[in-house]
């Protein structure tokens, strides 16, 4: 089984592909209790013209169609940046039991500023989960991978429109 940092580096690679494919630079992976990677997901906001096309919410939706809630409770969602409140809700409802993230949403805000593509809430995922009835485990941020997450975002924000025109 890999370390949390190793899985986060894989999620960073997914975020690089997301950016290369014309989307916002975020990535997530789903790992089962045995350490096997079940799914990878990049953001699809720009290319799919989907305002809720975050990697975490798309991955959670895909996973909920393929696996039972009992199975997902023993899985871990690794993501480059702390899940926003929308994605945290999806993770909660899909019953994914553990979340591991590389960079906090607050640190992401320092990079994105007031870019309209990323109107960040200051609502940590731990706060969202604490209002529910499930004890979802959260680990992060991981300073050992934050620079790698940050590098994928360099030069991206402030230069994009909300959606590409057809």
Q: Dump pLDDT digits (tens) for 103-162.
A: 999 998 888 877 777 777 789 999 999 999 999 999 999 999 999 999 999 999 875 444
Mean pLDDT over 45-69 rounds to: 92
- Spatial strand order of the sheet with 98-103 comes to 37-42, 27-31, 76-81, 98-103, 137-139
Please state, in angstroms and rounded to a whole number, the distance separating the CA atoms of residues 28 and 157: 20
**Proportion of the chain above pLDDT 70, given as a percent:** 95
Annotated active-site positions, please?
56
Q: Dump pLDDT digits (tens) for 16-31.
A: 999 999 999 999 999 9
CA distances from 124 to 62, 120, 139, 141 (A): 23, 11, 12, 11
The pTM of the full predicted model, rounded to 2 decimals, is 0.92
């Amino acid at each position: 089984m890999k370390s949390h940092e190793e899985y986060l580096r894989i999620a960073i690679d997914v975020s690089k592909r997301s950016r290369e494919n014309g989307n916002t630079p975020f990535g997530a992976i789903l790992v089962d209790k045995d350490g096997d990677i079940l799914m990878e997901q990049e953001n699809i906001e720009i290319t799919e013209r989907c305002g809720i096309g975050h990697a975490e919410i798309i991955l959670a939706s895909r996973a909920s169609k393929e696996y039972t809630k009992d199975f997902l409770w023993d899985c871990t969602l690794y993501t480059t940046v702390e899940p926003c409140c929308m994605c945290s809700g999806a993770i909660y409802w899909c019953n994914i039991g553990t979340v591991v993230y590389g960079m906090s949403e607050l640190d992401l805000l320092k990079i994105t500023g007031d870019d309209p593509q990323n109107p960040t809430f200051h609502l940590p995922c731990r706060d969202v989960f604490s209002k529910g009835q499930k004890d979802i485990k959260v680990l992060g941020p991981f300073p050992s991978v934050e620079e790698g997450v940050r590098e994928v975002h360099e030069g991206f924000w402030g230069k994009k429109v909300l959606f590409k025109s057809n």
